[in-house]
Structure 1
């Protein structure tokens, strides 16, 4: 069979054109394997790419940025009390305080679960620390362990504030209500739940933070510390 130029059989030319077309068509549909692609790994779900919060009972909870937390009405009772604190503490800012309170909430919850007394002592008043430490001691004596994981903080709201004079110093106190999606469960020696739930649960807590201010309008001693924590 003669393959010299100008003498190619018509049927071979047609077959070659068809084959080339099929190769190009398949590449356009399937893409080209580069060797760098991860095989067998499904793509991330759309919700994960969008950065939405976890789905709780069939609803997706948004993750509001700390800057979006609402502050009390400046003309309302709590807003007026915060303004009084600001008059005594020239560096006080409600939004900055709330961001710090939210960070402290996460840190303290985790430290209590892990029995991290160093972190607790640095972030709690003496009375609050003694209460937390007593709970840890009782837990350790029973061979129990605490599991805690904050999945999302849905709300962080200042609900009240107070400023009182104590022996030449001023004690500022601010109540913050936290609503969070958490896993919080106490496990016994056998690893079985003693209390709480090994599932995401919406919890509401009311925490009181305190700070001592001196007469010159600046902080005296440590920064804001947790003085009281209870369910709300």
Structure 2
């Protein structure tokens, strides 16, 4: 009688083991590794990650980045303006801030002024305001348009130091719209002036 109970226990244990095996097989499946499509819940996680990545890419020029950019833009603006004066080393210090086209235009303007025998005196007073008008990202290139309002003292003199235009005693307010550009994938943090809008 005891033997029959032992057999029954063995059979019951085997049935329980078989049931557990079938349940695990149904839950875990037969495959090893990741095959086919991701489960529905995982698909949702992937979608959220993609959305976050897209948002991160779009926020590459967020509020903080814009504030930092404007600080540098003001410095670049002053450097380029004062480089156009004959009081210093011409375009040398601002050369890294200009793309090839703008650099060529500036050098041509300087040469034309020298050929006419004219001499420029520019005193930069300061930037009253610098505001981002718009910013556009095309591929990896981010272009930012800035409206500047600044004050300078400027005058042009001839070889005899006679004033041709401007006033060395008068502060003049100027309004400029400049476009800066940067490759966002580049390790170089510098922006370049690519256009001066009229």
Q: CA RMSD in A?
A: 2.4
CA shift, 1:171, in A, is 1.5
Correspondence for 1:157:
131
Q: Structure 2 residue aligned with 1:132, among 106, 121, 125?
A: 106
Correspondence for 2:181:
210
Q: Aligned with 1:223: secondary structure? A: coil
CA shift, 1:222, in A, is 6.2
Q: Distance in 2 between matches of 1:184 and 1:123?
A: 22
Q: Distance in 1 between matches of 2:81 and 2:132?
A: 19
- Give unpaired runs (5+ residues) of structure 1: 1-82
Q: Structure 2 residue aligned with 1:110, among 63, 82, 85?
A: 82
Residues 36-67 of structure 1: CA deviation (Å, up to 9, x unaligned) = xxxxxxxxxxxxxxxxxxxxxxxxxxxxxxxx
CA contact (8 A) 1:120 1:129 kept: no
CA shift, 1:136, in A, is 0.5
Higher fraction of helix: 2
TM-score between both structures, scaled by the size of structure 1? 0.54
CA shift, 1:185, in A, is 1.8
TM-score between both structures, scaled by the size of structure 2? 0.63
Aligned residues: 140
Answer with 1 or 2: which has the greater Rg: 2
- Give unpaired runs (5+ residues) of structure 2: 1-54
Q: Distance in 2 between matches of 1:152 and 1:171?
A: 29
CA contact (8 A) 1:184 1:197 kept: yes
CA shift, 1:195, in A, is 2.9
Q: Does the C-alpha gap of structure 1 residues 123 and 143 become closer, same or farther in structure 2, counting only changes over 3 Å?
A: same
Correspondence for 2:190:
223
Q: Structure 1 residue aligned with 2:95, among 118, 121, 126?
A: 121
